[in-house]
């Protein structure tokens, strides 16, 4: 504790505060740019810190890191173009909110979610770092696969009103996820010999294409020609009702996000999705989902931020980068001759605690700087519709092109955008497709890795306590409705409130 | 016959799913097996499952459509579903997008990006061509300068890049 | 009205044509003996091995005032072959080099890349990084011999973890080891992880029987005693690591991951000499020496033609291994 206080003493000097503020601003500004996720933002800004002393440099990084992540959600909410994979889920509820004039609230919910998730996550770093460092490595392929199975079960709750169409969408996503070199054996799948497809199609590209490009085309097909009223901006702050709905998702986020961030190969995509599904299930405003439910922004954002904090635990204590951003941060550490790992806390304890203190400060600055900006950002949507959609297409194209400077990526985006148009026309929900792209490759890899480790024996899938526990949870979820129905028979039959929507 | 098909144009989705399924399956079967592989599940297994499911879902969806099921077109603030689909706008918009892709390597990003924005705004009904042109140029130049000059993410600058 | 529209469009067009070049610092004239400007293509993502090498080299060059402006950019994809394709297509461009290494040699085969490293103009090999055979501290193996005995008895039950995809260094090393002890490479149970970090977790958690990885990422763990090194793959022992070489343990393999730079094909011999000179000068700077020490890299400088023949040999060696595995 004393060490943390010393850390704050170091981080709270005016110079360091200034560095943190610059970091947050730069991180947000660059994170907002298309095609530049937090990893790229940190890599691009790395040279700025050359020649700074390590403490100052890392304080700035902490700002850039959280700022970059937050910038990604801003575009996700306002323009339906997620800047990074952790912000993909945010677009699902965040963008409809913005369209209904609640952009400021969505941004505020995201900002506070980021703050809460990050603060709790960082607290957990302080409290749990040694524990996590010890146990994170026990999580292996069978456990991951069990969690993926759970996630696939959860997909059923986002299939929409028509099961068959939802499943079709999921399969389209899985097919897109198959594209690329098979990671385990290096065999080409659906690449048609093109090197550009060998690494697969990035989930951010798929999300931007399906969300933004698909939507622009669909709007073009049925543009409301008359009565162009600008999107109302509404009142800038969260109302009491909003707060009542969001405080639980904010607090639940870290519970899901932090462990995922801390375990190797955890990442932020799957926990944000799980958070979305959890909030949807727990929400009392079910009919609002898909049209802009604020819980769907608050939960995933808090989860993403906490997962980012979790990532730092494994990076600092094990020297294990579990995300691209962490890998860049690791490289930054090495630039200063500092090797994160089991000895870091002993060797550089002053620096580590200053870094942790600066995470708290960075998050607070992020909130302080961005909350007042939320209504201003939301005003962006008042520009006339032709400019708005032209801007979205422009933005999406720059993002797709800037990463690899390759026209091919624009064509991939166009084709998937057309797919998004067709899916909108024929009522195929978009979300299952995105989930398919995220879950498919990860699930396949973990399953095959687990089976390889057990040399082909099927017991390799269930040979850890965690995996068994997860499967038990799955069985409970699957059979609970059945049990309830059987139990329900004994009581006098209650009239069904209303015939359920007929599925396919 | 035409009207019947038009009413059931969703069968096109079934066709796409069917083609996709066949594509995934043929691609999976093409993967050679004479390379080092450990474990019972190889690179073929998942594509075969996904491909087969695609075929099944294509058939199920076709059955649903023929029995009168219809996918609900997605609504939205800017969307007027009562109006018939406006193919011209969609094609113009596609044109603007593809023009960017085609031009970017030839004349550089500042021009192609401006063409994309200007074309898209035109397609979506903006008719103040003068203002659009200036907005498009400004946006494109600003983006180029931020990426290329400030951040060092290279974008093609255009034919005059080498002249100065 | 019509005229005004056309004027505006023409004005906008002129602006997009003229403003970017005017505001972008121009390229130097080519006729100096020194390279003033250099673009370094990194064929993998920020934070990867080639990226760190390139950025470190660029910074050392600038600090030592060998060069005014070295711009590092990433073009990731397909194990580096997308970047390789770009480099090969920039025929004659004397101001571009690509940071690369052993991994790209293998990727050319596994990705069935149309362009080969033999098409490029080799400039210099810069560094080497030996691999280590590593187990967690709770592993039952304390020497390589025990491991090899178990491995020979039942290769399937001894999963090997590596941080690179098939064709990469961590994959090639165990395959070469298997061949040396008489195991069929195809029988090796190689489990691929996303980079040395994820592999480390599996080694620490005892998920794999042993791991093969670059030494750099593990130094701290070795020092802390959380992992045990059974052997190093290089020809000689590494200072600071208490482990025998493979040959000393009866496995006749000498293997090191290496990184270097290549230039596009068809550049003029003057350009080529300038680039070779630039990297030779870099090699002599104290900044580069410090960077080597800091990153735990072994100096393995080999300029121009030396690098060329080395590249050809490595290419052959990799091709043989991958053919055995049905991957080339």
Q: Output the DSSP codes for A243-297.
A: HHHHHHHHHHHHHHHHHHHHSTT--SHHHHHHHHHHHHHH-S-GGGTTS--THHH
Residue A330 has pLDDT above 80, yes or no: no
How many CB atoms are located within 10 Å of the residue C136 CB?
A: 21
How many CB atoms are located within 10 Å of the residue C110 CB?
A: 27
- Record the pTM: 0.81
Q: Which of C263, C259, C237, C240 is nearest to C248 (CA)?
A: C237
Q: Does C328 lie at the interface with B, CB-CB under 8 angstroms?
A: no
Q: What is the DSSP letter of C251?
A: -
CA distance B159 to chain A (A): 17
Distance from C-alpha of C148 to C-alpha of C132, rounded to nearest angstrom: 15
**One domain, residues B54 and B102:** no
Q: Do C16 and B137 touch (CB under 8 A)?
A: yes
Q: Do C19 and B162 touch (CB under 8 A)?
A: no
**One domain, residues B152 and B95:** yes
Pick from B17, B73, B104: CB nearest A427? B73
Q: What angle do CA A141, A146, A152 make, to 5 degrees?
A: 125
Q: Which of B35, B38, C116, C185 is nearest to A188 (CA)?
A: B35
Q: Is residue B71 part of a domain?
A: no
**One domain, residues B149 and B96:** yes
Q: Alpha carbon C305 to chain centroid distance?
A: 19
Q: Which of C90, B121, C255, C70 is nearest to A390 (CA)?
A: B121
| Mean pLDDT of the region A249-255 | 90
Per-residue pLDDT tens over the stretch A164-191 = 899 999 999 999 999 988 877 777 888 8
Which residues in chain A have Cβ-Cβ distances shorter than 8 Å to B135?
387
Per-residue pLDDT tens over the stretch A354-363 = 888 888 888 8
Gyration radius of chain C's alpha carbons = 23
Distance from C-alpha of A51 to C-alpha of A54, rounded to nearest angstrom: 9
Domain spans in chain A, listed from the N-terminal domain onward: 2-486
| Mean pLDDT of the region A464-469 | 88
Q: Is A331 within 8 Å of A145 (Cβ atoms)?
A: no
Q: Is A405 within 8 Å of A195 (Cβ atoms)?
A: no
Distance from C-alpha of C126 to C-alpha of B87, rounded to nearest angstrom: 58
| Mean pLDDT of the region B27-45 | 76
Q: Is residue B76 part of a domain?
A: no
Q: Is A136 within 8 Å of C203 (Cβ atoms)?
A: no
CA distance B112 to chain A (A): 10
Window C:71-90, CB contacts with A under 8 Å: 74-79, 81-82, 85
- Judged by average pLDDT, the poorest of A346-350, B77-81, B123-127, C1-5 is C1-5
Residue C87 has pLDDT above 90, yes or no: no
Work out the percent of chain C whose per-residue pLDDT is above 70: 95
Which residues in chain A have Cβ-Cβ distances shorter than 8 Å to B42?
185
Residue A503 has pLDDT above 50, yes or no: no
Q: Does C3 lie at the interface with B, CB-CB under 8 angstroms?
A: no
Q: What angle do CA A369, A321, A77 make, to 5 degrees?
A: 35
> Which chains share 3+ C-beta pairs under 8 angstroms with A?
B, C
Give me the pLDDT at residue A352, please.
80
Q: Which of B81, B155, B66, B46 is nearest to A174 (CA)?
A: B46
| Mean pLDDT of the region C181-196 | 83
Domain count of chain B?
Answer: 2
User: What residues contact A484, with CB distance under 8 A and at least 6 apart?
Assistant: none
Distance from C-alpha of A289 to C-alpha of A259, rounded to nearest angstrom: 26
Residue A226 has pLDDT above 60, yes or no: no
Pick the CATH number of C130-256 from 3.90.1150.10, 3.90.850.10, 3.20.20.80, 3.40.190.10: 3.40.190.10
Per-residue pLDDT tens over the stretch A475-493 = 887 887 777 677 665 554 4
Distance from C-alpha of C48 to C-alpha of C75, rounded to nearest angstrom: 12
Q: Is C87 within 8 Å of C262 (Cβ atoms)?
A: yes
Domain end point (choices B66, B95, B121): B66
Pick from C77, C191, C220: CB nearest A198? C77
The listed range with the strongest mean pLDDT (A322-326, A396-400, C293-297) is A396-400
Phi/psi for C293 (5° steps) reads -60, -45
Give me the pLDDT at residue C328, please.
66
Q: Report how far apart, in Å, the C-alpha atoms of C159 and of each of A184, B99, C42, C194, C321 are.
A: 13, 51, 32, 16, 19
Distance from C-alpha of C59 to C-alpha of C42, rounded to nearest angstrom: 14
User: What residues contact A15, with CB distance under 8 A and at least 6 apart?
Assistant: A56
Q: Is A314 within 8 Å of A262 (Cβ atoms)?
A: yes
Q: Does A50 lie at the interface with B, CB-CB under 8 angstroms?
A: no
C25-128+258-324: CATH class: alpha beta
Residue B39 has pLDDT above 70, yes or no: no
Distance from C-alpha of A460 to C-alpha of C226, rounded to nearest angstrom: 25
Q: Do A324 and C45 touch (CB under 8 A)?
A: yes
Q: State how beta strands C256-263 and C121-136 pair.
A: antiparallel
| Mean pLDDT of the region C110-125 | 84
Contacts across the A-B interface (CB distance below 8 Å)? 231
The range of the structural domain enclosing residue B91 comes to 87-160
Per-residue pLDDT tens over the stretch A27-67 = 888 777 776 777 777 777 776 766 677 778 877 877 888 88
Which residues in chain B have Cβ-Cβ distances shorter than 8 Å to A99?
76-78
- Beta strands of A277-376 (E only): which ranges? none
Write the DSSP string, B62-131: HHHHHTT--PPPP--TTB-TTSPP-HHHHHHHHHHHHHHHHHHHHH-HHHHHHHHHHHHHHHTT---HHH
Q: Is residue B131 part of a domain?
A: yes
Paired residues of C133 in beta bridges: C212, C231
Give me the pLDDT at residue A500, please.
40
Pick from A186, A404, A406: CB nearest C165? A186
Distance from C-alpha of C43 to C-alpha of C82, rounded to nearest angstrom: 7
Q: Is A3 within 8 Å of A353 (Cβ atoms)?
A: yes
Which residues in chain B have Cβ-Cβ distances shorter than 8 Å to C2?
none
Q: Does A383 lie at the interface with B, CB-CB under 8 angstroms?
A: no
Which residues in chain C have Cβ-Cβ distances shorter than 8 Å to B133?
8-9, 11-12
Q: Is A302 within 8 Å of A113 (Cβ atoms)?
A: yes
| Mean pLDDT of the region A430-456 | 87
Q: Do B93 and A220 touch (CB under 8 A)?
A: yes
Pick from A189, A394, A411: CB nearest B113? A394
Nearest CA in chain A to B112: A394
**One domain, residues B54 and B10:** yes
Q: Which of A59, A91, A111, A118 is nearest to A207 (CA)?
A: A91
Q: Is A296 within 8 Å of A94 (Cβ atoms)?
A: yes
Q: Do B71 and A426 touch (CB under 8 A)?
A: yes
Q: Does C157 lie at the interface with B, CB-CB under 8 angstroms?
A: no
| Mean pLDDT of the region C213-219 | 80
Mean per-residue pLDDT over chain B, rounded = 85
**One domain, residues B52 and B110:** no
Pick from B42, B47, B116: CB nearest A397? B116
Phi/psi for C162 (5° steps) reads -145, 155
Window A:195-234, CB contacts with B under 8 Å: 213, 215-225, 231
**One domain, residues B55 and B95:** no
Pick from B36, B39, B126: CB nearest A386? B126
Per-residue pLDDT tens over the stretch A356-382 = 888 888 888 888 888 888 888 877 777
Q: Report how far apart, in Å, the C-alpha atoms of A283 and of each of A114, A124, A275, A278, A280 are.
A: 20, 26, 12, 8, 5
> Which chains share 3+ C-beta pairs under 8 angstroms with B?
A, C
Give me the pLDDT at residue C182, please.
87
Q: Is the predicted ipTM greater than 0.95, yes or no?
A: no
The listed range with the strongest mean pLDDT (A169-178, C181-190, C238-247, C254-263) is A169-178
Phi/psi for A267 (5° steps) reads 70, -170
Which residues in chain C have Cβ-Cβ distances shorter than 8 Å to A319?
197, 200, 217, 220-221
Q: Report how far apart, in Å, the C-alpha atoms of A439 and of each of A424, A434, C261 are.
A: 22, 9, 37
**One domain, residues B9 and B59:** yes
Per-residue pLDDT tens over the stretch A124-152 = 888 887 777 777 778 888 888 888 888 88
| Mean pLDDT of the region A252-273 | 83
């Amino acid at each position: 504790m004393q060490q943390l206080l010393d850390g704050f003493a170091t981080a709270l000097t005016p110079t360091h505060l200034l560095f943190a503020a610059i970091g947050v601003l730069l991180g947000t500004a660059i994170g907002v740019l298309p095609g530049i996720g937090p990893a790229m933002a940190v890599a691009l800004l790395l040279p700025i810190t050359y020649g700074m002393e390590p403490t100052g440099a890392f304080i700035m990084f902490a700002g850039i890191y959280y700022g970059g992540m937050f910038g990604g959600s801003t575009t996700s909410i306002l323009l339906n173009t997620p800047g990074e994979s952790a912000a993909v889920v945010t677009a699902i509820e965040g963008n409809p909110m913005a369209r209904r004039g609640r952009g400021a609230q969505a941004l505020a919910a995201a900002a506070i979610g980021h703050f809460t998730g990050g603060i709790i996550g960082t607290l957990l770093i302080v409290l749990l770092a040694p524990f996590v460092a010890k146990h994170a490595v026990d999580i292996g392929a069978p456990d991951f696969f069990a969690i993926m199975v759970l996630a696939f079960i959860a997909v059923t709750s986002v299939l929409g009103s028509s099961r068959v169409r939802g499943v079709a969408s999921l399969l389209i996503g899985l097919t897109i996820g198959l594209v690329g070199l098979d990671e385990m054996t290096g065999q080409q799948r659906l690449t048609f010999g093109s090197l550009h497809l060998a690494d697969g199609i990035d989930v951010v590209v798929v999300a931007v294409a399906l969300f933004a490009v698909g939507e622009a085309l669909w709007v073009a097909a049925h543009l409301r020609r008359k009565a162009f009223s600008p999107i109302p901006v509404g009142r800038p702050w969260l109302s009491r009702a909003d707060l009542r709905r969001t405080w639980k998702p904010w607090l639940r986020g870290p519970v899901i996000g932090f462990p995922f961030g801390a375990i190797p190969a955890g990442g932020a995509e799957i926990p944000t999705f799980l958070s979305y599904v959890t909030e949807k299930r727990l929400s009392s405003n079910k009919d609002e989902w898909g049209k802009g439910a604020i819980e769907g922004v608050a939960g995933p954002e808090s989860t993403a931020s906490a997962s980012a904090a979790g990532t730092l635990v494994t990076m600092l204590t094990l020297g294990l980068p579990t995300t691209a951003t962490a890998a860049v941060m690791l490289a930054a550490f090495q630039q200063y001759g500092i090797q994160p790992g089991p000895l870091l806390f002993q060797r550089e304890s002053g620096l580590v605690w200053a870094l942790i203190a600066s995470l708290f400060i960075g998050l607070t600055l992020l909130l302080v700087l961005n909350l007042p900006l939320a209504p201003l950002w939301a005003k962006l949507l008042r520009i006339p519709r032709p400019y708005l959609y032209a801007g979205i297409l422009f933005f999406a194209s720059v993002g797709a092109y800037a990463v690899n400077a390759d026209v091919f990526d624009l064509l991939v985006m166009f084709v998937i955008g057309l797919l998004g148009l067709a899916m909108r026309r024929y009522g195929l929900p978009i979300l299952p497709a995105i989930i398919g792209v995220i879950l498919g490759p990860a699930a396949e890899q973990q399953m095959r890795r687990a089976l390889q480790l057990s040399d082909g024996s099927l017991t390799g899938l269930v040979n850890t306590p965690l995996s068994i526990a997860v499967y038990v949870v799955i069985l409970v979820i699957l059979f609970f409705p059945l049990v309830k129905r059987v139990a329900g028979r004994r009581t006098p039959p209650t009239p069904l409130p209303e015939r359920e929507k007929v599925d396919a | 016959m035409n009207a019947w098909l038009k009413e059931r144009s969703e069968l096109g989705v079934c066709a796409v799913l069917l083609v996709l399924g066949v594509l995934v399956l043929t691609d999976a079967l093409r993967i050679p097996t004479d390379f080092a592989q450990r474990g019972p599940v190889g690179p073929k297994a998942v594509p075969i499952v996904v491909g087969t499911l695609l075929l099944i879902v294509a058939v199920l969806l076709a059955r649903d459509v023929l029995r009168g099921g219809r996918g609900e077109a997605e609504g939205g603030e800017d969307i007027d579903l009562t109006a018939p689909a406006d193919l011209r706008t969609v094609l113009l918009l596609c044109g603007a997008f593809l023009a960017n892709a085609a031009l970017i390597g030839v004349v550089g990003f500042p021009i192609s990006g401006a063409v994309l924005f200007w074309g898209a705004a035109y397609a979506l009904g903006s008719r103040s061509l003068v203002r659009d042109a200036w907005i498009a140029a400004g946006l494109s130049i600003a983006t180029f300068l931020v990426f290329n000059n400030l951040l060092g993410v290279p974008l093609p600058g255009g034919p005059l890049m080498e002249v100065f | 009205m019509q005229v005004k529209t056309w004027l505006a469009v023409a004005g906008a067009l002129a602006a997009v044509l003229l403003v970017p070049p005017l505001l972008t610092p121009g390229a130097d004239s080519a006729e100096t003996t020194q390279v003033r400007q250099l673009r370094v293509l990194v064929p993998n993502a920020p934070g990867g091995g080639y990226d760190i090498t390139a950025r470190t080299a660029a910074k050392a060059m600038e600090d030592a005032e060998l060069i005014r402006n070295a711009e590092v950019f990433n073009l990731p994809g397909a194990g580096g072959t997308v970047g390789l394709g770009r480099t090969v297509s920039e025929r004659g461009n004397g101001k571009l080099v690509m940071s690369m290494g052993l991994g790209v040699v293998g990727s050319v085969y596994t990705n069935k890349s149309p362009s080969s490293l033999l098409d490029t103009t080799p400039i210099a090999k810069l560094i080497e990084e030996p691999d280590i055979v590593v187990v967690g501290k709770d592993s039952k193996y304390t020497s390589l011999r025990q491991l090899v005995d178990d491995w020979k008895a039942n290769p399937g039950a001894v999963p090997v973890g590596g941080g690179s995809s098939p064709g990469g260094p961590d994959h090639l090393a165990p395959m070469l080891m298997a061949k040396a002890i008489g195991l069929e490479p195809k029988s090796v149970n190689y489990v691929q992880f996303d980079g040395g970090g994820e592999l480390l977790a599996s080694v620490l958690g005892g998920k794999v029987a042993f791991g093969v990885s670059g030494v750099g990422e593990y130094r701290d763990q070795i020092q802390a005693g959380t992992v045990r090194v059974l052997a190093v793959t290089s020809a000689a022992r590494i200072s600071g690591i208490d482990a025998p070489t493979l040959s000393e343990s009866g496995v006749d393999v000498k293997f090191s991951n290496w990184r270097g730079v290549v230039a596009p094909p068809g550049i003029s011999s003057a350009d080529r000499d300038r680039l070779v000179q630039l990297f030779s000068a870099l090699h002599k700077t104290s900044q580069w020496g410090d960077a080597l020490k800091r990153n735990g890299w072994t100096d393995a400088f080999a300029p121009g033609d030396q690098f060329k023949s080395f590249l050809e040999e490595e290419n052959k060696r990799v091709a043989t291994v991958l053919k055995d595995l049905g991957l080339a």
